[in-house]
Structure 1
Amino acid sequence: MKAFVTGGTGFIGSHLADHLIESNKYSEVRCLIRSNEKWLKGKHFKRINGDLDDLAVLKKAVEGVDVIFHIAGRVKAPTYADLAHANVEATENLLRIAQKEGVPKIVVLSSLAAVGPSKNEPISEDAPMNPISNYGKSKKQMELVIHDIANEETSITILRPPAVYGPREDQIYSFFKMADKRICPIIGDGKRPRISMIYVGDVVNGILDAVKQQEKGVFTYFISDDNIHTWDEIRGTTAKVLGKKSVPIYIKPKFVKNIAKTVEKAASFFGIYPVLNREKAKELILEWTCSSEKAKNELGFHPEYSLGEGISRTIHWYQRHHWL
């Protein structure tokens, strides 16, 4: 099989590309590279120079491939227009060309953010889409575009993971970095809000499970580690792996937006759009849980990594690479 990967230099995409390159099932792995190969440097893949705005490059990239893994996306930007360009318009470009070239299978990575926060019970795929952030709105629009332009000859699987963590991740990483310094800021009381999580290895497993689904049409699934977590649980697990107790600093949700506003304003003086921004603050104060029952039943998805195993692998990678 031949595969084309977008986002192969990023966090999730690089882990997927690693697996595909090492797999005997794929005779050729093509990765779209804008400039720096980053995590793919020195590995055996076919480099496609360009980006998702270059239609000629995309046409060449998908010629003769059996499956496209569309992992590329933007998670933070100052405006909705920036996110829509990266997440909606780019996806439409790729999908139209892929269908014209007759690519039979496409797997697209979306997000729980496209649906919005949960209320007491984990969200399932039949829940209405009510995103609250610009990022979530762009992912919702991306999914709607896919449904609008999908033809009857292609099998498209959309996956919606919740918070993804693991080696190479640089946003949730800030939590582990603070815990390593024995300080642990937590929004809420440690028990609420709750969240679903998934280790990057299980995201890759879910993506590979999706390839097996060959029925024509558009199919959508949540994938998670099958558990609902509290921040006290995450803090405790992190402390155990680090061998360091951390002091929890519980922050009332009503203060988070003001803190994010201050951080964002300060960062703007340096031309930076920070991880903690006003858009992110909207998400942090709410509960984000989902059910992966449908993926288990229809794709055969079964998460391999518990929270303890995932955090252990993640922290040990950070330590080996001097991030901690």
Structure 2
Amino acid sequence: MDKILITGGSGFIGSFIVEEALNRNMETWVAVRSSSSRKFLQDTRIRFIELDFSSEENLRKQLAGHKFDYVVHAAGVTKCLDKNDFFRMNTNGTANLVNVLSEPDWMPRRMVFLSSLSIFGAIREQQPYKDIEPTDQPKPNTAYGESKLKAERIVTESGIPSVILRPTGVYGPREKDYFLMAKSIKGHVDFAVGYKQQDITFVYVKDVVQAVFLALDRGKPGSAYFLTDGEVYQSATFSKLIHEALGRPWWIRITAPVWVLRVITFFGDAIAHITGKISALNNDKYHILKQRNWRCNIRPAINELGFAPEYNLKKGVRETIEWYKANGWL
């Protein structure tokens, strides 16, 4: 039985990776903190291990006696009150983990690192928009993207046989940020930002999981792959599909200029620092929503991994909304 370690297993994407590992009859270990929610980790076959990514010394003690065949590093943060926390957790935490795993006693057969399309920032923004290519120079325009880019380089240079995955916007059951859009539309209001054409890409969480295990099975060490569902959408498409899946309630669609978003996110950040509660509308989110081109080339993932997305946006949104309803979120 292959032994796998999944970090970030209590998170949105991580919890689905855990389920697939169990479906494959792998000895599944999930890295958690004492404060981690285990709401979606109820299967009795799961084995938990507490890991402190802030300390290489602690990781050595906690991983003593373990050797994993596979490691999926999905742990990280997407929103922080202090931008330095992105680097502390996403970059330094990754460095501490790979420094331990790169030693002979801990070296896995394969590691997959969950990164993000956000590492490239707003490039190829001139119309007509063209696909972002793996050979393009990353120019991250968010602290999150920069922290992930630095983590990618650490993983690549570690000597561990590793594959990097760069999904675009990931949605699906259990996801909380896109859920806010569904909640708003159910409340009869939808918001859009900017009047310039925006090409958006998405990938359903189960297709990300498919790519993770393809990468473990056949990914070429040192490679990095973009992940989308293979389609390109316009900015209003996601809202329209949510509206349809909700039964088409009456709604008001408000399109605001980008400068309005800048004001909203400025105050969102300010209020978050006062209350200590992270806002979904923050400085990083401003740059993400402002970006017009999210196209990227997934042909390498198709050709080299055998990646075959099973969910287009319509199918994925329908399944997601059904889950939100069934679980009392909507």
TM-score normalised by the chain length of structure 2: 0.91
What is the letter of the counterpart of residue 309 of structure 1? K
Report how far residue 257 of structure 1 moved. Answer: 0.7
Alignment of structure 1 residues 239-318 onto 2, 5 Å = 239-245=243-249, 246-287=251-292, 288-318=294-324
Q: Is this contact kept in 2: 1:14–1:40, CA < 8 A?
A: yes
Aligned to 1:6: 7
Q: Deviations over 1:11-50 (max 9, x none)?
A: 00001001111223x1x10001102323113442111023
- SS in structure 2 opposite 1:40? coil
Q: Is this contact kept in 2: 1:166–1:314, CA < 8 A?
A: yes
Aligned to 1:155: 161
For the pair 1:145 / 2:154, whether they are aligned, the reply is yes
Residues 220/258 of structure 1: CA separation in 2 closer, same or farther (3 Å cut): same
In structure 2, runs of 5+ residues without a counterpart are none
Report how far residue 145 of structure 1 moved. Answer: 1.7
Aligned to 1:185: 191
State how far apart, in whole Å, the 1-side matches of 2:181 and 2:277 are. 19
What is the letter of the counterpart of residue 239 of structure 1? H
- SS in structure 2 opposite 1:294? helix
Aligned to 1:33: 32
State how far apart, in whole Å, the 2-side matches of 1:13 and 1:224 are. 18
TM-score normalised by the chain length of structure 1: 0.93
Aligned to 2:204: 199
- SS in structure 2 opposite 1:39? coil
State how far apart, in whole Å, the 1-side matches of 2:284 and 2:310 are. 32
State how far apart, in whole Å, the 1-side matches of 2:29 and 2:59 are. 11
In structure 1, runs of 5+ residues without a counterpart are none
Report how far residue 53 of structure 1 moved. Answer: 2.5
Report how far residue 214 of structure 1 moved. Answer: 5.7
Q: Is this contact kept in 1: 2:242–2:317, CA < 8 A?
A: yes
Aligned to 1:224: 228
Q: Is this contact kept in 2: 1:4–1:61, CA < 8 A?
A: no
Q: Is this contact kept in 2: 1:155–1:213, CA < 8 A?
A: no
Question: Displaced runs of 4+ in structure 1, greater than 3 A?
Answer: 54-62
Give the root-mean-square deviation of aligned CA atoms: 1.7
State how far apart, in whole Å, the 2-side matches of 1:214 and 1:136 are. 23
State how far apart, in whole Å, the 1-side matches of 2:271 and 2:168 are. 29
Residues 4/57 of structure 1: CA separation in 2 closer, same or farther (3 Å cut): farther
Q: Deviations over 1:229-260 (max 9, x none)?
A: 11222122111111124321111112211111
State how far apart, in whole Å, the 1-side matches of 2:39 and 2:50 are. 14
Overall identity of the aligned pairs, in % = 29
